[in-house]
């Protein structure tokens, strides 16, 4: 679909982040299934989901609102990654890679918000 949410670079980047987090959490201890894994996957998938929902709205202000929600979910995801690293579930190299993706996504979100 031309001009759909799938065409937004920020959606692509946030979807990439979400996929990386889903793959990563497969390696977490099973006892974290309904705790950290669930929280991390939900907050990560909320980012591209809110971008998609906002893009589907008719008014720029509504789109902007959903971008703000996506940015909040991005920060929540960052916290959960810090927690997972501090608990020893993520190696430093992988953590740094994911934080870089978060920073890139955040810059893209901020740019899109400012453009509306």
What is the pTM for the complete model shown? Answer: 0.95
CATH numbers and ranges of domains, the chain: 5-115 (1.20.1440.60)
Torsion over CA: 69, 50, 35, 94 (sign):
negative
Q: What's the pLDDT at 66?
A: 99
Q: How far apart are CA 48 and CA 50, in angstroms?
A: 5
Q: Where are the beta strands (DSSP E) in 32-89?
A: none
* pLDDT tens series, the chain, 116 aa: 578 999 999 999 999 999 999 999 999 999 999 999 999 999 999 999 999 999 999 899 999 999 999 999 999 999 999 999 999 999 999 999 999 999 999 999 999 999 99
Q: What's the pLDDT at 8?
A: 98
């Amino acid at each position: 679909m031309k001009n759909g949410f799938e065409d937004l670079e920020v959606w692509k980047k946030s979807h990439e982040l979400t996929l990386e987090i889903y793959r990563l959490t497969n390696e977490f201890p099973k006892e974290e299934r309904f705790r950290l894994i669930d929280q991390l996957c939900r907050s990560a998938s909320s980012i591209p989901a809110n971008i998609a929902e906002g893009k589907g709205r008719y008014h720029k202000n509504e789109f902007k609102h959903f971008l703000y929600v996506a940015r909040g979910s991005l920060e929540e995801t960052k916290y959960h990654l810090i927690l997972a690293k501090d608990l020893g579930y993520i190696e430093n190299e992988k953590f740094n890679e994911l934080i870089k993706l978060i920073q890139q996504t955040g810059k893209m979100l901020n740019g899109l918000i400012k453009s509306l």
